[in-house]
């Protein structure tokens, strides 16, 4: 996991560079995929990218490669400071789209490893009592790659995560734990849907709860995929385009339609329900969810007639 603080105004340059880096990484054995997370609220233009490899030795080959070093040299003008990275060996990726993750790396004082583990157990027991807590994992140092100890914990919303991070309970624990580590860094990784829910910066604006994001994305995604299957999919099949290529083209089209057409329409139509500042009562929450469910049913019936 790499954290990169991009200079103001260089976001587009950075994204192009990151795409180039992703293409290069795909050529290395064991590569499984990448995930790019844009800055969240209060993150000062800090982008996070996750590279997944099958084994540590394959990841090490990529990290130490000349190709990667050349890419890092090329990107230096884009960053305010050198990128930081954490290597997480093992662990379970979050499967729910609503999960918000915090990644905290610790530099442990020599000889304090066991007391740190006891302190971490105490912190976990405190976390479990906070609303929205969904789990925690501890990653030990990876010999030859990094010396940091990394803790990953997940909450069901950014609000619940921030409530824990800013709580008096955690502040007391950090004060107690200072004797075990010299420094620590906190990075947040938000919902992968958040980029499709940008309403503005006013008092009534913000990112909707993640369960609403998921319902809205399904509402836009289902008709998009069905229409593409009936139109572009049929045309590609008739043209003899191989299945793997047709799937790639379909993914590109569906994501493009979602980003620039379908999701903006859904956002406007459901603004009364999606915007946290407007959906202030249980009645609105329920009414919006029922409306979306009815739309699901209508779409299923309509597309069922095309079979």
The model's pLDDT over 185-216, given as tens digits with 9 standing for 90+, comes to 776 665 555 555 555 444 344 567 768 888 99
Both structure tokens of 153: 């914990």
Same domain, 158 and 219: no
Same domain, 158 and 274: no
Same domain, 25 and 122: yes
Q: Is the dihedral of CA 72, 74, 75, 80 positive or negative?
A: positive
CB 199 within 8 A of CB 267: yes
CA terminus-to-terminus distance, the chain: 45
Structural domain containing residue 294: 198-304
189, 224, 245 - which closes a domain: 189
Same domain, 173 and 292: no
Please tell me whether residue 51 adopts helix, strand or coil conformation.
Answer: strand
159, 189, 219 - which closes a domain: 189
Same domain, 235 and 260: yes
Same domain, 170 and 272: no
Same domain, 206 and 253: yes
For residue range 216-245, what is the model confidence (pLDDT) as tens digits? 999 999 999 889 888 888 888 888 888 878
Residue carrying structure tokens 């066991």: 114
pTM of the model: 0.42
For residue range 56-97, what is the model confidence (pLDDT) as tens digits? 788 888 888 999 889 888 988 888 877 776 666 554 444 444
Same domain, 211 and 182: no
Question: How remote is the C-alpha of 272 from its chain's centroid?
Answer: 26
Same domain, 29 and 156: yes
Same domain, 165 and 184: yes
Cα–Cα distance, 102 to 151 (Å, whole number): 8
Cα–Cα distance, 260 to 283 (Å, whole number): 30
189, 217, 249 - which closes a domain: 189
Cα–Cα distance, 175 to 73 (Å, whole number): 38
**Number of domains forming the structure of the chain:** 2
Residue 150 sits in a domain whose CATH number is 3.30.70.100
Same domain, 255 and 117: no
175-180: which pairs have CB atoms within 8 A and are 24 or more residues apart? 176/119, 177/116, 177/119, 177/123, 179/109, 179/112, 179/115, 180/106, 180/108, 180/109, 180/112, 180/115, 180/116, 180/119
């Amino acid at each position: 996991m790499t954290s990169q603080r991009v200079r103001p105004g260089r976001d587009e340059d950075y994204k192009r560079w990151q795409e180039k880096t992703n293409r290069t990484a795909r050529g290395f054995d064991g590569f499984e995929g990448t995930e790019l997370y844009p800055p969240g609220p209060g993150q000062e233009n800090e982008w996070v990218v996750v590279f997944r490899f099958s084994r540590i030795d394959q990841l090490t080959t990529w990290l130490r490669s000349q190709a990667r070093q050349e890419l890092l040299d090329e990107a230096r003008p884009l960053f305010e400071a050198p990128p930081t990275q954490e290597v997480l060996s093992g662990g379970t990726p979050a499967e729910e789209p609503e999960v918000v993750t915090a990644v905290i790396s610790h530099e442990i004082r020599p000889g304090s490893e066991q007391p740190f583990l006891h302190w971490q157990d105490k912190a976990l027991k405190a976390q479990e009592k906070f609303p929205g807590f969904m789990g925690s994992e501890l990653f030990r140092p990876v010999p030859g790659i990094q010396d940091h100890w990394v803790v990953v914990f997940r909450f069901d919303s950014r609000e619940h995560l921030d409530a824990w991070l800013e709580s008096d309970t955690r502040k007391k624990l950090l004060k107690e734990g200072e004797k075990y580590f010299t420094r620590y860094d906190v990075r947040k990784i938000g919902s992968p849907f958040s980029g499709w829910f940008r309403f503005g910066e006013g008092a009534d604006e913000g990112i909707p709860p993640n369960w609403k994001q998921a319902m809205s994305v399904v509402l836009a995604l289902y008709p998009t995929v069905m229409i593409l299957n009936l139109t572009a999919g049929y045309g590609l099949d008739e043209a003899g385009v191989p299945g793997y290529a047709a799937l790639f083209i379909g993914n590109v089209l569906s994501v493009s339609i979602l980003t620039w057409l379908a999701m903006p329409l859904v956002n406007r139509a459901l603004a009364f329900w999606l915007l946290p500042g407007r959906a202030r009562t249980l009645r609105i929450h329920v009414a919006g969810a029922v409306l979306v469910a009815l739309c699901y049913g209508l779409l299923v019936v309509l597309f069922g007639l095309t079979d």
